[in-house]
Chain A
């Protein structure tokens, strides 16, 4: 069972208390964007075998959204952090760098 720490209410939540919300750190394109950018935003998703950043909602808990850094290959959780950010916090990146040297994901590394 996947267990994620909800940074909003502090509970270590079981997978059954959570709802997966897909890829994190999407750039939400608007009117005036190019076709390429719109395709990226609407349809293309990071699908790495390894380090991944995702949105989760503590749906049967506090109800709040948060973000998680996770390995899709081992199910190891590197950490969770509040959703009000456009890139992973440095301490999360440091943990990942320690465990997965040379990692990269989208524009982050």
Chain B
């Protein structure tokens, strides 16, 4: 579907004619009988996968199926943080690919995703973290990821509202990634959706997959709430519901689904122009463009599909952050929500072939998937088109039985 480009000229033109000329951002579609590839899940990762299938491999006979509304799952529920300061090489490769794609995403998609490379600090508040982050800084230097270890005085300079002399968790320094930051999460999904639609792909909302059809160990299609659809290749990109979909296809994933929460305060004047992650106290903080303090918390300890999460986790998160950010003790909290995150044993994602030929799975991003959206889509598209990708080779779902973990759970590159 041809689409008018967004530009300053288009805004001026529409301003002159009372904004009557804006088209739908993407086309409403009904399913066709058959596609070359079907992506289940129209969140950021699913839409990015479809986009790079078209852009990098010319595969445009693609449908993206979404049981709810586009970007209504974890894509719209995260704290929008982008960074790539991971310890292990495979993680750094895919997250840095992703971060670099964010740099030009607004131009690539002709959609303003408001990428704001304002800088991310991972605070070190224990001696263990000091050693861990110095090690990560060295690893990042070898991986070509630009990060640096900074001393407490520099932390204070970057974030004046922080109390670095707290009695329980003094700030001992931090791992600073100057080109990390945030982006508008909804716009990432909307921008990809628009670009996919422009390439002729069908984005079909309120279309729930109810069964996965196979013949001789190969996928042939899916049954949906809008009828059966045939396909050659199927990409499952459904985060928290990956286990449910895998069960339909007849295999199991090393994944458990838990609720992860976030909350925002009332809007206040600008007071903090970077992102701070404080892993020891399990909280992270940034200020949105609207002025709200965006606070991310911890996951519940038990399996859950309710998109709410337990109240006491919020209390723990905020209580812990107050020592380091005393000013938030006077803030009223405005909204709280939860998303269902898919957590693997080594806290690293799965981008993999599956026991069923033609089915590929992209899941397990757990508590940190938003930052990976473009890189994940890029790698997943290559995997689906060519059968392998240098970015996904290490992220196979079979790595657990082989003992080839990508262990970020103890590497302090992950907040939880």
Contacts and interface: CB of A to CB of B under 8 A. Distances in A.
A54 B302 CA distance: 8
B312 A43 contact: no
A2 B301 contact: no
B104 interface: no
Interface string B294-305: 000000111111
A20 B257 CA distance: 14
A70 B303 CA distance: 10
Interface string B253-273: 111110000000000000000
Contacts of A16: 312
B306 A74 contact: yes
Contacts of A75: 304, 306
A89 interface: no
Given A54-B302, A75-B304, A47 B257 contact: yes
A6 B353 CA distance: 43
Nearest to A14: B312
Interface in B215-255: 241, 243-244, 247, 252-255
Contact of A47 (B255, B301, B311, B312): B255
A71 B304 CA distance: 8
A48 B243 contact: yes
Contact of A45 (B254, B301, B306): B254
Contacts of B304: 72, 75
Interface string A22-39: 100000000000011011
Interface residues of A, number: 25
Contacts of A38: 401
Nearest to B242: A47
Contacts of B254: 43-45
Contact of A20 (B247, B255, B301): B301
Q: Which of B302, B310, B401 has the most C-beta atoms of chain A within 10 angstroms of its own C-beta?
A: B302
Interface residues of B, number: 23
A39 B399 CA distance: 10
A22 B301 CA distance: 8
Given A35-B401, A43-B401, A49-B241, A1 B311 contact: yes
B400 A1 contact: no
A2 B306 CA distance: 13
Given A35-B401, A44-B254, A1 B312 contact: yes
Nearest to B252: A44
B253 A47 contact: yes
A20 B345 CA distance: 16
Interface in B309-367: 310-312, 345
A80 to B, nearest CB: 13
B303 A52 contact: yes
Contacts of A44: 252-254
A74 B303 CA distance: 11
Interface in A30-78: 35-36, 38-39, 42-45, 47-49, 52, 54, 70, 72-75
Interface of A: 1-2, 15-16, 19-20, 22, 35-36, 38-39, 42-45, 47-49, 52, 54, 70, 72-75
Q: Which 5 pairs across A and B sit closest by C-beta, in order of nearness?
A: A47-B243, A20-B301, A20-B302, A39-B401, A43-B400
